[in-house]
Amino acid sequence: MTLQDQRVVLLGGTSGIGLATARLATAHGATVIVASSNPESVRRALGVLPASASGTVCDLTDPAAVGAFFDRLDPFDHLVYTAGEALSLLEIRSLDLARARQAFELRYFGALNAVHAATPKIRRSVVLTSGTAADRPGAGWSVAASICGATDALVRALAVELAPLRVNAVKPGVVRTPLWPDDFDYTATAESLPVGRIGEPEDIAEAYVFLMNQTYATGSIVTVGGGNVLV
């Protein structure tokens, strides 16, 4: 399978899983366009991506900015949405509803609006990002699990509404990225997983590229979590 001569737009494609996906897509022959709200993150990403890549600064929570971004683009093959902010627990007993709503802004409503704005330009597929919190939440994960569950439902609904455009999602488990807290115990988590190690961004990138290439998959949510939903 190959992405040769295809154009991929990655929102959030400047660090972590998104950047790993951008790098792998270019290795498969794609031309990538990455976007992030952080100018320094865009600059760093373009420093490690091939010269054919391009990047832009865009506030993905601003519908007008996202609409203007896609208006400037020529038609492209795949939209990949990996944008997210640092993970934090929100316990019900001390819930700040404003923070809970804010958590949905980038991860869920940002993705929903991106698909809305981009659909007229997309030729082949959309790949969104969910998470295994929807299937195996812990204490304090009610908001995060809700976002992931909403994304799962969105993928299935969009796959029907936008057909024959394909819409899928990747559902990562614990992955070594800057979005996890500095004091997160990767060692203990690795020991609890059937695969015996923590995921790396490159592991997850393989799933995004697979879904871009897999022309018979739509409404699919691919879990890549080292078996964390089993234990």
The per-residue pLDDT for range 21-80, each reduced to its tens digit, is 999 999 999 999 999 999 999 999 999 999 999 999 999 999 999 999 999 999 999 999
The residue range of the domain holding 27 is 7-224
Residues 30 and 49: beta-carbon distance below 8 Å: no
Q: What are phi and psi of 137, to 5 degrees?
A: -75, 155
The verdict on residue 230 lying in a domain is no
The verdict on residue 2 lying in a domain is no
Residues 90 and 143: beta-carbon distance below 8 Å: yes
The verdict on residue 174 lying in a domain is yes
The verdict on residue 71 lying in a domain is yes
Evaluate if pTM is beyond 0.85.
yes
pLDDT at 1 exceeding the cut of 70: no
CATH number at residue 31: 3.40.50.720
The verdict on residue 229 lying in a domain is no
The verdict on residue 1 lying in a domain is no
Token pair belonging to 40: 């320094």
What's the total number of domains in the chain?
Answer: 1
DSSP for residue 175: B
Annotated catalytic sites, by residue?
130
pLDDT digits over 100-128, tens only? 999 999 999 999 999 999 999 999 999 99
Q: Where are the alpha helices (DSSP H) in 16-141?
A: 16-27, 39-48, 63-72, 97-104, 110-118
